[in-house]
Amino acid sequence: MESTASLNESGIALTEANKPYEAISLFQKALVLDPGNPLLWLNLGIAQQRTGEYKAALDSFQRSIHIDDTMGDAWGAMGLIYYELEQFIKAEECYLFSLARDNGSPKVWNNLGVLYFNQGDFEEARNCFEQAISLFPLFYDALYNIRDTCRELNDYSAAAEFERILSDPDLRDGDSQISR
């Protein structure tokens, strides 16, 4: 008999290998064994999100949060779905809820910065990207985003410095953020 841990690990590997449909069945199997595990609900939601099943993903993230309100990753993932659905107020609320539970997530700081950037609030966007970079100095997406934000703010010297950092060919290798 497979354990929830092995089903979860296999599901994560399949999700990362862009096989979310296969991963979903493993997470569902694991949830039969351990329906109160918020991490399993989170991982199921991530796989569902990858398939475009946003409603199902939101339901899974909500279940994760219902079990454990401190699941900052679930709040952040919901924020991304709401952003993709252009429900920006809900997206911002979810990102802020996520950061209130775990302000050490460079990915959520970056996503919040993208939201602000696209709303034209470049100062807030820059603050968010700076937070992301302070937590993960070689976070390619945040470096790219802050470079563009600095250009929008006419801070060309800072933009040039971020461009210099981005030109490092080894930078893309430092961008892995796999969470388990």
Go through the chain and tell me how many residues it has: 180
Same domain, 112 and 30: no
pLDDT reading at 175 higher than 50: no
- How many domains does one find in the chain? 2
Q: pTM for this structure?
A: 0.88
| 121 within domain boundaries | yes
Domain boundary among 61, 87, 113: 87
Domain boundary among 41, 62, 87: 87
**What is the tens place of the pLDDT at every residue in 29-75?**
999 999 999 999 999 999 999 999 999 999 999 999 999 999 999 99
Q: Which residues constitute the domain of residue 22? A: 1-87
Query: Could you tell me if 108 and 99 are in contact, meaning their C-beta atoms sit under 8 angstroms apart?
Result: yes
* Banded pLDDT at 23 (limits 50, 70, 90): very high
Say which CATH number the domain at 149 has. 1.25.40.10
DSSP 136: S
Q: What is the largest CA-CA distance in the chain?
A: 60
Domain boundary among 60, 87, 114: 87
User: Taking the CA of residue 125 as centre, how many other CA atoms within 13 Å lie in the half-sphere pointing to its CB?
Assistant: 22
Select from 68, 66, 75 the least CA-distant residue to 95: 75
